[in-house]
Structure 1
């Protein structure tokens, strides 16, 4: 219909009057009083229609209770987007304890990695089958896992899982998937009752067939209990089995990977957000230090290059020495010894997953870098997108700001930074209704919808075009 108020007014008026007259004709034989009431209703309807169009407004429409066929979540979404609920606790009982990564097997089937709980063996891999009525059937494929997080489908069609201390694969289509488990990489660091702060075995497949594996920093800042540096340099960042780094495992030519590895890059506190672009670009989302200061330090997106050091624990952001290491001068943060980030993220945003959108549902997102911000502070609880160049690297802007729940957007005041497109601008805490969002895993479905897990709420969410 043309977007013309006068046209709309006329159309609305005659439609209302015509409908009323027809109704009057149908009930006139029932009596004069009912005929008069019907005529009055027709007149009032037409008057309301004309009044609304006089200000260029259409009559208010009720928000549908579904999002592209799924129950609509009450999350404030960007215009044109909605959030549908796929899986959630029922009657206060969780079906998924702490859902993290997710992958699609076919149009109707998904795998979910469920962390289960820290320091436990309650982790599991679940299979979700979406039914025609937008309901789901859930079956547990593998149980008794120790903090499973990363999940991916390999070139061989098998599912790969990053569990504490190892990476294994299994056949998700087998009659008994647990019987097909094969350990592919072993001996990875574990948390040993939280002595290691960052034990999750995140990994990605490289274009040359290599496996790139996150080795998180054992501590937050590599300091003693008094907050002082123990040595002139941090052994957790420079050498040894627990070096904060990315390991590269070369393919062995037989469908697996060599037991030996090389350290591709160092000085990375925790590479849980890790992604490989079709061009070969590798990006890492840095969960930066746990400083109590609300606005420092920035989290980061790093462009990974072989042999580079990215600053942990000596540097924060582009060139700022960290307080505990400033006097040691272990690294000149403004020098080439420190590889600065290609993009700053809000402080304590806690990026936990990212990927490039190449789906069909949202043309406006094509080529953007999608990211989940899991942080519990006022900048977290969001799914965002950044514009990128042809190599998949985020494009920095000027005077960039980041959003804050309960406050006005805040300037970064530093470069490189960029304004993110926020898919979920209204996912903050709503008293009595919901906690702040805690998105973790991201995946783009075959139909272009964006699937997200929320581990704090025990939910799986589907972001789609805003339609019932």
Structure 2
């Protein structure tokens, strides 16, 4: 009787309206202690539904995710694409397993990343600052303190990339993403914009990863240096224990569904990775001549990803639940086009770099696959969520954002379009 009852409860809880109903996850059966969604998974795995919002309680657009070690979680809520609508929530569970939400801070501008720093404190990225807060305080909102302020405010630009994200380097330095101020730096006639004020020159102060040196006791230098540039959107950043830094590049939005390809880059200090001049391996973007682009002088991606896959998170899996995944690089592909809506586990070498093949293929929804360009490196691995496409009345197309590994080794993931938190576990 468990499956029909869970399905009925889920349908009764579905939000009103056609769009909301299309984004509701139906459940049937059990997935490691959580209701199991109908999403077809890799053998041995299932996708459980931890929570899906239907009212005013809980985040409106869940993005960042961090386990607190006692079964509780921190969740950042983008809130919307306007300043002041974001918040940070604490998720806990009652004796019956029911989710309970508590607001820790609100009135934030597009918060995304939440992480524990080298000093053990909690840090959160907003659009134009990095802050810290104490989730264990009686009044967490009163503990909010700016750590790095005055990051570029990209919300005033068309096709902007306003979100900030960050990762800690081995010496404690903060490596902070500053997104590009436009899509590909061409004017209305498709001609290259080369003036410095457009944010498209090599000397521009956006489209880069900045390095803020660690001082001590939760303090970082306000002044930064440019760690790497030519990066359109570096929301996905991860550091391997060997010191390798990886970035997932959301490439430009040409109208073609099969071009250009997204990228995985190995970041090195001083490297320029092509934006807005080059895509793929050495292809100049329309509007830029080969002489202007100088693609042969730019850093090449270590691997190509499917066009418009939109990688929004990278993590290394070291949990106990899936020993076959240990050491692999997990990627969330958030894109709404036919290659997106997937979580992929890529094989890696000892330095955490993804292993690649040439002549590979990538899957598309609703079915089928396409071939990467001849000679192009594509990640070697497997898709954990091969059936996360929309199925009327049963499940929405997946829109995974941030992943985190729980103490038991299960993989938790936020889905911002469907206002859900899900959990990959052993079936």
The TM-score, its normalising length taken from structure 1, stands at 0.82
Which of the residues 334, 349, 367 maps onto 1:407?
Answer: 367
Task: Confirm or deny: 8 A CA contact 2:39 2:395 kept in the other structure.
Answer: no
Q: Aligned partners of 1:237, 1:382: CA distance in 2, in Å?
A: 34
* 2:330 is aligned with 1:330: no
Q: Aligned partners of 1:180, 1:145: CA distance in 2, in Å?
A: 14
Q: CA deviation at 1:227?
A: 1.4
Task: Confirm or deny: 8 A CA contact 2:133 2:145 kept in the other structure.
Answer: yes
3-state SS of 2:101 partner: strand
- Residues 220-260 of structure 1 show CA distances to partners (whole Å, capped at 9, x for unaligned) of 0111122111338875341243x211100001234311111
3-state SS of 1:178 partner: helix
Which of the residues 374, 378, 393 maps onto 2:353?
Answer: 393
3-state SS of 2:247 partner: strand
Task: Confirm or deny: 8 A CA contact 2:59 2:76 kept in the other structure.
Answer: no
* 2:36 is aligned with 1:67: no
Q: Which has the higher contact order (CA 8 A, sep 6+)?
A: 2
* 2:398 is aligned with 1:434: no
Task: Confirm or deny: 8 A CA contact 1:237 1:312 kept in the other structure.
Answer: no
Q: CA deviation at 1:134?
A: 3.0
Question: Which residue does the alignment assign to 2:20?
Answer: none
Between 1:192-201 and 1:281-290, the stretch displaced more is: 192-201
Q: Aligned partners of 2:201, 2:268: CA distance in 1, in Å?
A: 16
3-state SS of 1:330 partner: helix
- Residues 298-341 of structure 1 show CA distances to partners (whole Å, capped at 9, x for unaligned) of 000000001111000111011111111126x22321x2x21000
Between 1:373-382 and 1:123-132, the stretch displaced more is: 123-132
Q: Aligned partners of 1:240, 1:407: CA distance in 2, in Å?
A: 42
Task: Confirm or deny: 8 A CA contact 1:119 1:193 kept in the other structure.
Answer: no
Task: Confirm or deny: 8 A CA contact 2:153 2:162 kept in the other structure.
Answer: yes
Q: Aligned partners of 1:404, 1:355: CA distance in 2, in Å?
A: 23
3-state SS of 2:73 partner: strand
Question: Which residue does the alignment assign to 1:14?
Answer: none
Between 1:263-272 and 1:118-127, the stretch displaced more is: 118-127
* 2:284 is aligned with 1:321: yes
Q: Aligned partners of 1:383, 1:86: CA distance in 2, in Å?
A: 17
Q: Residue 434 and residue 193 in structure 1: after superposition, are their counterparts in 2 closer, same or farther (change >3 A)?
A: farther
Give unmatched runs, 5+ long, in structure 2: 1-26
Question: Which residue does the alignment assign to 2:386?
Answer: 425
* 2:330 is aligned with 1:370: yes
The TM-score, its normalising length taken from structure 2, stands at 0.90
Q: Aligned partners of 1:300, 1:240: CA distance in 2, in Å?
A: 22
Task: Confirm or deny: 8 A CA contact 2:125 2:164 kept in the other structure.
Answer: yes
Which of the residues 176, 196, 203 maps onto 2:139?
Answer: 176
Q: Residue 410 and residue 215 in structure 1: after superposition, are their counterparts in 2 closer, same or farther (change >3 A)?
A: same
The residue correspondences of 1:177-196 to structure 2 (distance < 5 A) are: 177-195=140-158
Between 1:408-417 and 1:297-306, the stretch displaced more is: 408-417
Give unmatched runs, 5+ long, in structure 1: 1-62
Aligned residues: 399
The residue correspondences of 1:148-159 to structure 2 (distance < 5 A) are: 148-159=111-122
Task: Confirm or deny: 8 A CA contact 1:265 1:308 kept in the other structure.
Answer: yes
Q: Aligned partners of 1:286, 1:350: CA distance in 2, in Å?
A: 8
Question: Which residue does the alignment assign to 1:101?
Answer: 64
- Residues 352-391 of structure 1 show CA distances to partners (whole Å, capped at 9, x for unaligned) of 0010100010011010000100000110001111000000
Q: Aligned partners of 1:462, 1:165: CA distance in 2, in Å?
A: 31
Q: Residue 434 and residue 64 in structure 1: after superposition, are their counterparts in 2 closer, same or farther (change >3 A)?
A: closer
Q: Which has the larger radius of gyration?
A: 1
Q: Aligned partners of 1:194, 1:338: CA distance in 2, in Å?
A: 26
Q: Aligned partners of 2:252, 2:158: CA distance in 1, in Å?
A: 17
Whose strand proportion is higher, 1 or 2?
Answer: 2
Q: Aligned partners of 1:240, 1:297: CA distance in 2, in Å?
A: 23
